[in-house]
Chain A
């Protein structure tokens, strides 16, 4: 297999059709009133919002804008509003700063200097707001995780990845960009550097230490059972870099599965109960 950007090309009209059918079918089978999602103004949530609107109509999609003061960026809010307007979504903006500060005050060991633990609180707090709306309004939570960040475990466990369905989880980030352009997501959103916005100035590529264009080809190679040395050679990369990606991908399985238990009885959750999703 030749690892060139062309391997990531898909028929975007067909992909749009498959994902919108999937969303519509799931919402109908779950007998939900619609969809709720966090709308950050970034490429992933914009894409999922657009797909949801195309699937079930924008008036049945609620985009929650959940800024907090440390990472507040008027540009992101503008982008979120732009997408909401373009695809006719319902929106609600809630400043989560007071809730975050209250939560932090009640944690005796809270450490403001621990960026990661503090940042994860933000992602999990957003999850609480989203799920409250889902419960109260009988909505399905649509997650925005893509395949690159899911494979790398680059997300907050039980935070931003918490959802009922994740419609773009089988698309690498560079593919999401192509789909976003196909859907008519404004260029300024598509080209903006992706960020989980857990702390100011955070960007995904800087933190992962690799460009998505390269990462996605490495992950594609790993997905197709290629050896790390072959991937490195083809992409002109150091073998250590590719091995590091592979190691991280495998190490993060705990973030992608049901919590592990130890088998004690006849059929066990996460092991050998095989039950289909919604009827």
Chain B
């Protein structure tokens, strides 16, 4: 699986980060209450995920691997991502005000988002080169955003539906997400990808 186009499709549809890999569930259930917030969060995730993949790929292959410090991976990656998010937030606030207004409030939430850290680990575990790591991160981010927006739309409808009180809120959201996951299961095997 070295073709960038296949890696993109695999990350976007077949191994969807939320529904198949179970990463980034906190923002998925926490921020998906309205379509606008879901879009802002999705954009922020695509942006940070791509940047984080670049930085951690460089840190791992240029610093940790030659110096035999692979065991520091977990600590170094989480600290790199935390400082990266801080830096991006300050930079956007100063130079790109509109972009900051669109996704600024979601940036701090992303630091402890397991989706970002998970993707940087998967880049290393899959031994992706720089191009493939970029494609993988963008595909995963878009997959996250699409599922987020769809789920937000479903939840807006669910708020109006007459539901048994014990199912209201989290339980029905989980079940709806399960049905979405079942639909996404249909993509597996597409183009021979698992």
A and B are interacting partners: no
Residues of chain B at the chain A interface (Cβ within 8 Å):
none
